[in-house]
Amino acid sequence: MSESITLYAVPESTYCARVRLVLELKSIEYTEERPAGGSYKSEDYRRLVPAGSVPAININGRILHDSDAIVELLEDLFGEPKLRPADPLDRAILKSITRFHDTRLEPALRTLFPLVGHSEKFEDAKASIEMMNEHLDRLDVLVNPRPYLGGETLSLADCAYATTLFMMEDIANTMSLSPRVSQKISGWRNTLYATDVVRQIIDQNRAAIAAWITTKLN
């Protein structure tokens, strides 16, 4: 493959971690840059990436935003390891599990971000955790890790959840709260963490989140 790829990303983002993870798993050559102008909100970045979000990639001079679209493209363009099953129904089921992350679990986690460092907002934080717990309960019924979501090998759906499953705990703990993680989800999370490249990406993301939390608590 001779694609030239630049990833625009920030270290704290679970969506950026998903793309980084797929790039690393497939041993794709790429360079990573922070958004132009220092923030994804800058005018310079918006000129380059009209959607104004991270992650985005520049692939052979063309811009693509949205982690889900990006990892699907990487899966289409690059070979092993395959992160999507060949069977259309299996593939659609895993995609629906990925969508549950993007439309339910992560948005609930996101409501906690502005509350970090605000002990006076403990009741709001509890409500956020309750929302997350409701989604975690549903996720517990939705998935059947064997040991990964698609069976014996990692899938794009696993890549979507890997850092979120740790981030939700790390952020909730700063407010002396903890999300309700079932044995099934906890076992799956351990499997992800025991997988070499995945652990590396999780550790990088957790370090960035820990540094971000420190800035909020001080």
Ligand X SMILES: N[C@@H](CCC(=O)N[C@@H](CS)C(=O)NCC(=O)O)C(=O)O
Nearest 5°: phi and psi at 21? -60, -45
Phi/psi class of residue 37: alpha, beta or left (left: φ > 0; alpha: ψ in -120 to 50)? left
Residue 67 sits in the site that holds ligand X (CB under 6 A): yes
We find the least distance from the C-beta atom of residue 179 to ligand X, in angstroms, to be 19
We find the least distance from the C-beta atom of residue 146 to ligand X, in angstroms, to be 26
Query: What residues between 183 and 202 interact with ligand X by CB under 6 A?
Result: none
User: Per the structure block, which two tokens stand in for 206?
Assistant: 């957790």
We find the least distance from the C-beta atom of residue 42 to ligand X, in angstroms, to be 11
Residue 105 sits in the site that holds ligand X (CB under 6 A): no
Residue 100 sits in the site that holds ligand X (CB under 6 A): no
**Applying CB under 6 A, which of residues 5, 9, 15, 23 lies at the interface with ligand X?**
15
Residue 37 sits in the site that holds ligand X (CB under 6 A): no
Write down how long the chain is.
218
Residue 55 sits in the site that holds ligand X (CB under 6 A): yes
Q: Which helix or strand (DSSP H or E) is residue 64 part of? A: strand 62-65
Residue 45 sits in the site that holds ligand X (CB under 6 A): no
Residue 7 sits in the site that holds ligand X (CB under 6 A): no
Which CA distances in Å does 122 have to 107, 114, 116, 129, 177?
19, 12, 9, 10, 9
User: Per the structure block, which two tokens stand in for 30?
Assistant: 């790429």
Residue with tokens 């041993």, as numbered in its chain: 27
CA separation for the pair 72, 54 (Å, rounded): 16
Nearer residue to ligand X within complex by CB, 68 or 169 = 68
- Contact between 160 and 169 under an 8 Å Cβ cutoff? The reply is no
Residue 75 sits in the site that holds ligand X (CB under 6 A): no
CA separation for the pair 45, 67 (Å, rounded): 17
Query: Cβ-closest residue to ligand X?
Result: 53
Residue 25 sits in the site that holds ligand X (CB under 6 A): no
Residue 52 sits in the site that holds ligand X (CB under 6 A): yes
HSE-up of 87 (CA within 13 Å, CB side)? 6
Applying CB under 6 A, the span of 48-56, 80-88, 117-125, 180-188 interacting with ligand X comes to: 48-56
Which residues of this protein are in contact with ligand X, per CB under 6 A? 13, 15, 40, 52-55, 66-68, 102
